Amino acid sequence: MANKDITVLLQDWVAGDSASLEKLTPLVYNHLHKIAANVFRSERPDHTLQTTALVHEAFAKLVDVKTDWQDRGHFYALAAKMMRRILVDHAKAKSSAKRGKGRKILPLEDVIVISPQIGDEIIDLHEALNILAKTDPHKSELLELHYFGGLTYNEMSQALNISTSKLDRDIRFAKAWLRIQLETE
């Protein structure tokens, strides 16, 4: 189905046509699954959140969003934000559990201190993107669409209505900034 058809289905759905949502669901769901699979390629293999669970949770949140969908790019950009939020919340909850949140407090003399290595890469990425967003929201959005949305350069170019050459320059700069930011933490 053409991208234009997805946009029409999104707009019809917002207008109250529930049949449009039924037609739209398998189209966007498959693409969301591909996006989630791309996100998980860079994660450790024992990640406790799985691709399908991420897609289900993101799609459930997207269905509840009340917005006037401009086009499929708008939909996938919001999907990227949802997936980012879900992954960050999951990482924070897991990290919090590792640090003992909610566990019984023991007297200090009964405790043996152990410092586990916690893989908080997703949280580090999230925080770096928040820092970048304060000075350059456009480049932060590009990285979000790239890392959490799994959009190709052409899809990002269309979604943001910018040329692919400008997109390429901006994303190369943003990736370089991100690499420096993550290496200095």
Start-to-end CA distance of the chain, whole Å, equals 44
- Using alpha carbons, select from 34, 38, 33, 39 the residue that is nearest to residue 53: 33
> Distances in Å between the alpha carbon of 113 and those of 30, 109, 138?
46, 10, 43
- Could you tell me the residue range of the domain that residue 21 belongs to? 3-184
Q: Please give the average per-residue pLDDT across 54-65, as a whole number.
A: 83
Percent of the chain with pLDDT over 70: 77
Is pLDDT above 80 for 15?
yes
Q: Please give the average per-residue pLDDT across 10-24, as a whole number.
A: 87
Contact 147, 81 (CB under 8 A): no
Total number of domains in the chain:
1
pLDDT the model gives residue 90: 79
How far apart (Å, rounded) are the C-alpha atoms in residues 44 and 80? 20
DSSP assigned state of 14: H
pTM of this prediction exceeds 0.85? no
DSSP assigned state of 109: G
The residue among 133 and 159 whose pLDDT is bigger is: 133
Q: Please give the average per-residue pLDDT across 70-87, as a whole number.
A: 82
Token pair recorded at residue 59: 């799609």
Is pLDDT above 50 for 126?
yes
pLDDT the model gives residue 138: 92
Mean pLDDT score of the chain: 76
The residue among 182 and 174 whose pLDDT is bigger is: 174
The pLDDT-based confidence of 174 (bands split at 50, 70, 90) is very high
Q: Please give the average per-residue pLDDT across 90-106, as a whole number.
A: 58
Phi-psi category of 13—alpha, beta or left, where left has phi over 0 and alpha has psi -120 to 50?
A: alpha
pLDDT the model gives residue 77: 82
